[in-house]
């Protein structure tokens, strides 16, 4: 049986699957040995008061093994012979525009005036050390754009700006930790 629950726990419980299992078993009256897996679907911190809590939405697998993937994998078509489309900039907007073009069976050509991420890192260190800015390789220009120096987590949950869940799934499909999904 698969059940979903909304629970409110202290931070010491919220980030450990065994602690979450124990909490659910006690709170919901379930035999702890029957809980095979707990998947955190959503996590939010409530720090409005002195005592801090974490609100969790969890999927609990009782006497059942999860068969679904943690994230949705997207299959992309072969676009090696498709019409080409130019995308200017290899920041988050440009990279996701290129990905959307692939989904539409078009072949994106991404142009970036800055350096690759490894070289950019050296140029950014130079900004901090000597206050010298390379106009072609800085926080604004270069592979990954300013997004290359963020934690990869989107803080918006606006429904008007596209699917945040889809973007987080793309991150996971390309190597990000599945912990960003909660």
Q: In which band, very low, low, confident or very high, does the pLDDT at 77 lie, cut at 50, 70 and 90?
A: very high
Q: What region does 12 belong to: left with phi over 0, alpha with psi -120 to 50, or beta?
A: alpha
Q: What is the mean pLDDT of the chain?
A: 87
Whether the per-residue pLDDT at 101 is higher than 90: the answer is yes
What would the pLDDT profile of 127-175 be if each residue is shown by its tens digit?
989 999 988 888 888 888 877 777 655 555 555 666 777 888 888 888 8
Put simply, whether the predicted model's pTM sits higher than 0.75 gets the answer: no
Mean pLDDT for 69-78 is 84
Residue 128: other Cβ atoms inside 10 A: 8
Domains and CATH numbers, the chain: 2-62 (3.30.70), 84-181 (3.50.50.60)
* Six-digit token string for 135: 């106009």
């Amino acid at each position: 049986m698969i059940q979903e629950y909304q629970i409110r726990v202290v931070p010491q419980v919220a980030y450990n699957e065994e602690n979450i299992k124990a909490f659910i078993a006690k709170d919901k009256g379930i035999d702890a040995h029957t809980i095979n897996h707990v998947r955190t679907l959503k996590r939010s911190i409530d720090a409005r008061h002195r005592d801090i809590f974490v609100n969790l939405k969890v999927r609990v697998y009782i006497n059942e093994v999860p068969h679904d993937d943690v994230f949705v994998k997207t299959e992309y078509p072969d676009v090696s012979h498709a019409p080409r489309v130019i995308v200017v900039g290899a920041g988050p907007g440009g990279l996701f525009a290129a990905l959307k073009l692939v989904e539409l069976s078009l072949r994106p050509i991404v142009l970036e005036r800055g350096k690759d991420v490894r070289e950019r890192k050296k140029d950014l260190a130079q900004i901090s050390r000597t206050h010298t800015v390379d106009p072609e390789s800085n926080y604004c220009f270069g592979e990954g754009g300013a997004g290359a120096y963020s934690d990869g987590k989107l803080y918006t949950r606006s429904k008007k700006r596209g699917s945040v869940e889809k973007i987080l799934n793309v991150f996971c499909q390309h190597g990000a930790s599945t912990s960003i999904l909660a």
